[in-house]
Amino acid sequence: MPVLPDLPYAFDALEPHFDSRTMEIHHDRHHAAYTSKLNAALEGTDFENTSIPAVLSMLDKLPESKQNAVRNNGGGYVNHNLFWEILGPNCGGSPKGNIGTEIDNNFGSFDNFKQKFSDAAATRFGSGWVWLVLKSDLTLDVYSTPNQDSPYMTCDTPILGLDVWEHAYYLNYQNRRPDYVNAFWNVVNWERADSIFKEAKEDLDKTAC
Ligand code: MN3
CA 10 to centroid of ligand 1, rounded, Å = 17
pLDDT of residue 207: 62
Separation of CA 108 and ligand 1 centre (Å):
30
From CA 183, how far away is CA 160, in angstroms rounded? 15
In a domain, 167, yes or no: yes
Give 31 Cα–ligand 1 centroid separation in angstroms.
7
Reduced to 3 states (helix: H, G, I; strand: E, B; else coil), residue 47 is: coil
Q: Please classify residue 92 by burial: count the beta carbons closer than 10 Å to its beta carbon, then call 0-12 exposed, 13-18 middle and 19+ buried.
A: middle
> Does 67 reside within a domain?
yes
Kindly state the average pLDDT of the residues 129-152. 97
* Percent of the chain's residues with pLDDT above 90: 95
Q: How far is the CA of 165 from the centre of ligand 1 (A)?
A: 6
Between β-strands 128-134 and 140-146, what pairing exists: parallel, antiparallel or unpaired? antiparallel
Q: Tell how far the Cα of 26 is from the centroid of ligand 1, in angstroms.
A: 6
In a domain, 4, yes or no: no
Q: What is the pLDDT of residue 33?
A: 98
Ligand 1 centroid, distance to 98 Cα (angstroms): 28
Across the chain, the runs of DSSP E, i.e. the strands, are: 128-134, 140-146, 157-163
Q: Tell me, yes or no, whether 82 lies in a domain.
A: yes
Contacts 24+ apart (CB under 8 A), 62-71: 66/41, 66/42, 69/37, 69/38, 69/40, 69/41, 70/38, 70/41, 70/42, 71/148, 71/149, 71/153
Q: Is residue 192 within a helix (H) or strand (E), and if so which, with residue range?
A: helix 190-206
pLDDT in tens, 45-96: 999 999 999 999 999 999 999 999 999 999 999 999 999 999 999 999 999 8
| Distance from Cα 206 to the centre of ligand 1, integer Å | 30
Instruction: Give me the domain span that covers residue 66.
Output: 20-209
Indicate yes or no: pTM above 0.75: yes
Report CA(155)–ligand 1 centroid distance (Å): 22
Check pLDDT > 80 for residue 205. no
Q: How many domains does the chain have?
A: 1
pLDDT of the residue at 57: 94
Within-domain flag for 10 = no
pLDDT at 208 over 80: no
- 62 lies in some domain: yes
Amino acid at 31: H
Return the CATH number at 164: 3.55.40.20
Those residues whose C-beta lies under 8 Å from the C-beta of residue 202, and which sit 6 or more positions away, are: none
Tens digit of each residue's pLDDT (9 = 90 or more) over 143-190:
999 999 999 999 999 999 999 999 999 999 999 999 999 999 999 999
Average pLDDT, the chain: 96
- Cβ neighbors of 184 (< 8 A, separation 6 or more) are 17, 162
Q: Is residue 14 part of a domain?
A: no
Domain for residue 29, yes or no?
Answer: yes
pLDDT of residue 203: 85
What is the Å distance from ligand 1's center to 115 Cα? 22
pLDDT at 96: 85
Kindly give the distance from the C-alpha atom of residue 105 to the centroid of ligand 1, in angstroms, as a whole number: 30
